[in-house]
């Protein structure tokens, strides 16, 4: 009696599918393995970095303890540095003021007297109180103050408050900024 | 799409699992791979970068701390150094009234100007931040050529360059070169003092030689009263080029003589300072 397998074609189809499934399984398992290795490596790297951070932090704590033990020196130096910074600033402002005074003292003729000076330390403004013996010297002041050469040297230069004294002299104020242009 | 659960019950899952078992394992592996990939991309890689950044930051902090330790070791002799003492004298930590008056007196003697009037407010203890008073100019007509008188005008305290100021008003009498020399000396002694106002008046009168002037000066001296905070992690401040320039000029300043502080008590019965032989009453 001959046997007829009605499922032969079906078996063949299944075997083909099985082979394809097996290939897919192998590939996905290899991918999964690789991914696992990468995952592990990342985890290891993260662990290593965290451990190193811990070591560095411990070294920092030791360094901080050493710095704290030298607290008095640090305190003295910080005060010194702040004082030096303030002194340097005061000295620079003063130098700018002195340069401005020296400039105008040499620029005006001897008949123009710098009668008064007032330095506004906050706004770095120097107020000159000038006195000229007559109107001609007063003109000299205006000529000098308005000259482009002098104007270009200072940030601001403003003459004001002109008055004539009973003895015929003229007095005026001149506000000069000592800040660098 | 609506799932018909009754139809699903008709599916032979056992058969399906058996026939496509490799496929299901592959699906499972792919799922696990996908989850791991997501974890790597969204959790591990950012975490790794973050940890690396943190490590770099911590190393930088450690390096700064080590540099600070080295700098502090270099500063071991700093506390007793001459330069520190000079800076303390140039910008003291308390109101330098006595030092200022002593410096002014020495400058007046050195330049032969006569101090006619000194006005100050030494009793005022508040700093500039507390209040500001309006400065009223005082009349110099009441100057005394014999000796200085001390008044108490409402001189303001102003903060300049972050430090408090102490102002005194002086009236000096002398010739123009003498007054110039006085101004120059005042601006070169410690505590650092600026002349912020000058008012010149010709002095005329019987018995007064020609060329004499009275100069009303406003002296602003500075003192340091800031509260400073020190952070262990903060680096030590560096000396900038402008500050170095000031240090180079520091030797041109006149510093007050250091007074030796009292560190013991003489007398009190232990030593006979006068050498008088005690007389015993009989």
Interface test with B, best of A42, A78, A86 (most B CBs within 10 A): A86
Partner-chain contact A64 B233, CB within 8 Å: yes
Indicate whether B252 belongs to any domain: no
Closest CA to B161 of B104, B225, B103: B225
Q: B70 with B167, same domain?
A: no
Q: B110 with B139, same domain?
A: yes
Give the separation between CA B266 and CA B282, rounded to whole angstroms: 31
pLDDT digits (tens, 9 = 90+) for B41-95: 999 999 999 999 999 999 999 999 999 999 999 888 887 888 999 999 999 998 8
Partner-chain contact A43 B44, CB within 8 Å: yes
Indicate whether B282 belongs to any domain: no
Rounded to 10°, the helix A71-107/B241-249 angle is: 80
Taking 3-state DSSP, the helix, strand and coil percentages for chain B, each rounded to the nearest 5, stand at 45, 15, 40
Partner-chain contact A21 B194, CB within 8 Å: no
Q: What angle do CA B109, B112, B117 make, to 5 degrees?
A: 75
Domain spans of chain A, in order of start: 13-60, 87-177
Say which CATH number the domain at B139 has: 3.30.70.60
Cis status of the peptide bond prior to A14, with omega within 30 of 0: no
Q: B71 with B189, same domain?
A: no
Q: Which chain A positions have a beta carbon within 8 Å of B61's beta carbon?
A: 60
pLDDT at B134: 39
Q: B63 with B116, same domain?
A: no
Q: Which chain A positions have a beta carbon within 8 Å of B19's beta carbon?
A: 14, 17
- Nearest chain B residue to A131 by CA distance is B200
Indicate whether B19 belongs to any domain: yes
Q: B121 with B18, same domain?
A: no
Q: B103 with B205, same domain?
A: yes
Q: Which chain B positions have a beta carbon within 8 Å of A121's beta carbon?
A: 158, 160, 194, 196, 220
The torsion region of residue A120 among left (phi > 0), alpha (psi -120 to 50) and beta comes to beta
Partner-chain contact B194 A90, CB within 8 Å: yes
Q: B222 with B99, same domain?
A: yes
pLDDT at A4: 76
Q: Using CA of residue B146, residue B151, residue B156, residue B158, what is the dihedral sign?
A: positive
**Domain that includes residue B108, residue range:** 94-226
Spell out, as residue ranges, where chain A has pLDDT lower than 70.
1, 8, 10-11, 14, 181
Distance from CA of B6 to the nearest CA of A (A): 27
What are the helix (H) ranges across B96-195?
A: 97-111, 176-186
pLDDT at B122: 60
- Distance from the Cα of residue B177 to its chain's centroid: 36
Give the separation between CA A128 and CA A177, rounded to whole angstroms: 11
Indicate whether B65 belongs to any domain: yes
Q: B66 with B108, same domain?
A: no
Note whether A123 contacts B: Cβ–Cβ < 8 A: no
Q: B217 with B151, same domain?
A: yes
Give the separation between CA B257 and CA B66, rounded to whole angstroms: 39
Give the separation between CA B282 and CA B279, rounded to whole angstroms: 9
ipTM: 0.73
Architecture of domain A87-177: 2-Layer Sandwich (3.30)
Distance from CA of B197 to the nearest CA of A (A): 4
Number of domains chain B is built from:
2
Phi, psi of A3, deg, nearest 5: -95, 135
A57-86 residues touching B, CB cutoff 8 A: 57, 59-60, 63-64, 66-68, 70-86
Mean pLDDT, rounded, for B26-34 = 94
Partner-chain contact B79 A72, CB within 8 Å: yes
List Cβ<8 Å contacts ≥24 apart for A132-140. Answer: A132/A169, A132/A170, A132/A172, A133/A168, A133/A169, A134/A168, A134/A169, A134/A170, A135/A170, A137/A109, A137/A111, A137/A112, A137/A170, A138/A162, A138/A170, A138/A172, A140/A108, A140/A109, A140/A112
């Amino acid at each position: 009696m001959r046997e007829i397998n009605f499922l032969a074609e079906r078996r063949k189809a299944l075997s083909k599918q099985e082979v394809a499934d097996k290939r897919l399984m192998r590939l996905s398992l290899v991918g999964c393995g690789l991914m696992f290795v990468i995952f592990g490596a990342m985890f290891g790297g993260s662990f290593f970095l965290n451990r190193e951070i811990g070591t560095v932090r411990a070294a920092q704590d030791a360094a901080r303890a050493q710095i704290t033990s030298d607290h008095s020196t640090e305190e003295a130096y910080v005060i010194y540095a702040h004082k030096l910074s303030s002194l340097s600033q005061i000295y620079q402002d003063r130098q700018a003021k002195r340069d401005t005074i020296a400039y105008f003292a040499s620029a005006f003729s001897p008949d123009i007297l710098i009668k008064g000076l007032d330095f506004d330390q906050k706004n770095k403004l120097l107020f000159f109180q000038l006195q000229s013996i007559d109107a001609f010297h007063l003109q000299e002041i205006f000529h000098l103050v308005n000259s482009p050469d002098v104007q270009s040297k200072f940030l601001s230069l403003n003459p004001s408050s002109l008055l004539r004294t009973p003895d015929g002299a003229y007095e005026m104020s001149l506000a000069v900024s000592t800040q660098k242009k | 799409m609506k799932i018909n659960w009754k139809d699903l019950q008709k599916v032979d899952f056992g058969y399906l699992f058996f026939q496509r078992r490799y496929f299901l394992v592959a699906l499972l592996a792919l799922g696990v791979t996908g989850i791991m990939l997501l974890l790597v991309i969204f959790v591990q890689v950012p975490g790794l970068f973050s940890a690396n950044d943190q490590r770099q930051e911590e190393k930088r902090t450690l390096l700064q701390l080590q540099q600070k330790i080295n700098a502090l070791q270099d500063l071991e002799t700093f506390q007793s150094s001459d330069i520190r003492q000079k800076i303390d004298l140039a910008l003291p930590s308390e109101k330098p009234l006595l030092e200022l008056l002593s410096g002014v007196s020495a400058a007046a003697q050195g330049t032969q100007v006569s101090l006619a009037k000194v006005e100050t407010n030494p009793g005022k203890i508040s700093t500039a931040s507390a209040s500001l008073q309006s400065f009223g100019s005082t009349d110099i007509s009441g100057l005394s050529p014999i000796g200085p008188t001390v008044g108490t005008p409402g001189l303001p305290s102003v903060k300049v360059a972050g430090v408090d100021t102490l102002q005194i008003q002086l009236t000096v009498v002398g010739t123009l070169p003498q007054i110039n020399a006085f101004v120059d000396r005042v601006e070169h002694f410690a505590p650092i003092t600026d002349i912020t106002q000058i008012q010149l008046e010709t002095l005329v009168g019987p018995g007064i030689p020609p060329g004499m002037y009275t100069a009303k000066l406003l002296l602003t001296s500075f003192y340091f009263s800031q509260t400073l905070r020190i952070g262990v992690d903060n680096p030590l401040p560096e000396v900038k080029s402008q500050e170095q320039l000031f240090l180079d000029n520091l030797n041109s300043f006149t510093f007050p003589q250091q007074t030796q502080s009292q560190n013991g008590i003489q007398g009190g019965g232990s030593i006979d300072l006068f050498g008088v032989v005690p007389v015993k009453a009989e």
